[in-house]
Amino acid sequence: METFSPSWKFIDLFHDVTKQALIHDMSWLHNMSQFIPCKKNSVSSEYACQMYSHGFQKISTFAKTYNAGQYIFLEWHKKIQIFVEIEILNDILKCHVKLSNVPNRLHYHSEKNTFYFISLIRNTSTPKILASAAMSLLEARLPAVAKNCTRRQLDQIHGLLLTSSLHRLPGLPALLVRRATDVGDMAHADLLFSSFLRSGAPHDAALYNAMIRGCSYHGPHERALELFDEMPRRGLVADGFTYPYVLDACARLRARPRGEGVHGRVLKEGLDHVPAVGSSLLAFYVSGGGGSLGDARRLFDGLRVRSVGLSNHMMAEYAKAGDAGSARELFDAMPARDAVSWNSMLAVHVRSGDVAAAKELFAEMPERDVVSWTTMLRALSVAGDFAGMRSLFGQMPERNLVSWNCVLSSYTRHGRFSQALRLFPWMLLEGHTPNSFTVVSLLSACEHLRKLRMGRWVHANLVTPALQAHAAVGTALVEMYAMCGDVARALVIFTKMRSKDVFAWNVMIRGLAVHGRAGDALRLFDLMKRQGFRPDRFTFMGVLLACSHGGLVDEGRRAFDAMQREHGVRPSPEHYGCLVDLLCRGGDVDGAVGVVRAMPCRPDQGVWRALLGGCGVRAGLGSAEVAATATVGWSEDGERAPLSDLFKISK
């Protein structure tokens, strides 16, 4: 229920009564009943305002006569300017169905809220009134409502169309089917589509296009092709809106012969000049038709009309393939360019790492929008030019949320966490509302700086329930709390996460391992496998770290052996370093030396530090010398530093 906060004057007659903190419902009803027989409509309307403000919503009690009902209904809205639910208004609406001037009431409703208007029509029992007064307003209002309605409202509109024969209005059935597909409810969309076909709704191309579009996006993709084949049998001709969806379905099915047949029909009907159809053909041959960029380029060169949009699409395909040279060649050959062309080419240079070319193109741009500036910010970030990025950010004539997130994420990706936290308040001062990308960057900065208090503030003030439903935000919260020491809170958030990915499991396992809760980490690892998640190399890093911190030598060995044998994860030097550290902590120096000598790759400095440091701490300096002697010839000159450091510490 959407409400406003108006101020209205209470009538003197009931001034003393309305001062009371609580007023019994029966008192309201008794007082209200005194007005209706006397037809004191102005007083009853004012009193209705007070009733509603005190939480009493049973309007049907006092809306028993036509005069009082219509007056209260109209004046109430004018004075209070409040929108109430349909269930509350239905009692008043029933008073209007007997009126001779229903069109006036309908006009009033159409200006307020279409669903009140629909409720009034559904309570109207006289077909003549409905036909004469409602038809024109329904035709005007329903399309706008259907575009943004909920599933429940969609069902209401569907029922209204069928019961009032308004399903014959052109375009409305297609609009409802499209709305159902927009929310991904293909079963409901198919139900609507079938019911409209059976009910005698116009079988136009728009209705089929809506259903083909939904099947192309959400599946089943074969159904899209079946509907496309059915159109000629019903006397319908596919148009420029049909073919893009059909080609998309062919691409998703990787049905090149079928797609080529559709291409032939496009050429036969002369629709290849339609930009949307041309773009779909390019996408089909590049991504879904088993072709290549060469096929797409030949198709592009053979098109009768190459619009700016098609050129941009072809350039985007080159960008996806990493072919910056061909993209620039096409860009230079374009007779006309729009903002998308310039921004796309700028993004190609940034993606390829050619910052110098990006700077040159940015200087040549005739007009720069916020996308251009933001893309250039990314280019400077890639180059590590943070001073230039900050300077360019300050020069931007317009900064949106994407621009702010670009700078914040650049700082956090490159370890400049303090700068990210210092910049964030200025973003709030500009009036931007943080989204999931903002929150993840801030939580990452808090986690690395171990600023638990700041992280709690971000969680309490910025993370809404809708944001926390994002897997990235939930994982960032878990990591921040776990690495800042509040493992209990991290476990609570992790448990409540609805959508967990492997990264979230890895973060929680590592958080438990770092704080010495090896048993909990291993139990969580077992639960992860039972729930069907496949461990990766980061998972085993956390497991080995937990075993090392908990002194669980046997469990660590079993996990290391199962890593490649059961899960196909090839051990990296970091995994070997964890295993060596585990063995050294357990006093098994010979086993640690054997692991180092058996490594299929050259040990890095981390492995040497784990071996020599572990030997020195757990088994004495002599064991470290034995280990170093046993592994001589395996280390590079630059990796003798850990041993010399160990000797310095021992003196």
pLDDT digits (tens, 9 = 90+) for 568-598: 899 888 898 888 888 888 888 788 888 888 8
Written as one letter, the residue type at 135 is: M
* Residues in the chain, total: 651
96-113 pLDDT tens trace: 444 334 444 444 443 344
248-262 pLDDT tens trace: 999 888 888 898 899
- Rounded to 10 degrees, the C-alpha dihedral 484/486/487/489 comes to -130
Return the pLDDT at 87.
38
Average pLDDT over every residue of 106-122:
43
Neighbours of 565 (CB within 10 A): 9
Cis ω before 220 (30° cut-off from 0): yes
Those residues whose C-beta lies under 8 Å from the C-beta of residue 217, and which sit 6 or more positions away, are 181, 248
pTM over 0.85? The answer is no
d(CA 528, CA 523): 9
Q: Identify each DSSP E strand in 9-141 by its residue range.
A: none
Highest mean pLDDT among 126-140, 607-621, 635-649: 607-621
Neighbours of 6 (CB within 10 A): 11
Report which of 509, 528, 530 is spatially closest to residue 518, judged by C-alpha positions: 509
Output 595-600 pairs: Cβ under 8 A, ≥24 positions apart.
Answer: 596/631, 596/634, 597/630, 597/631, 597/634, 599/573
Highest mean pLDDT among 125-139, 274-288, 389-403: 389-403
Return the pLDDT at 638.
46
- Reduced 3-state DSSP string for 447-468: HHHCCHHHHHHHHHHCCCHHHH
Q: Are 413 and 437 in contact (CB under 8 A)?
A: no
- Rounded to 10 degrees, the C-alpha dihedral 272/277/282/286 comes to -130
63 pLDDT above the threshold of 90: no
pLDDT band for position 309 (cuts 50, 70, 90): confident
512-530 pLDDT tens trace: 999 989 999 999 999 999 9
Return the pLDDT at 459.
95
Return the pLDDT at 302.
80
Average pLDDT over every residue of 199-214:
82
d(CA 544, CA 581): 9
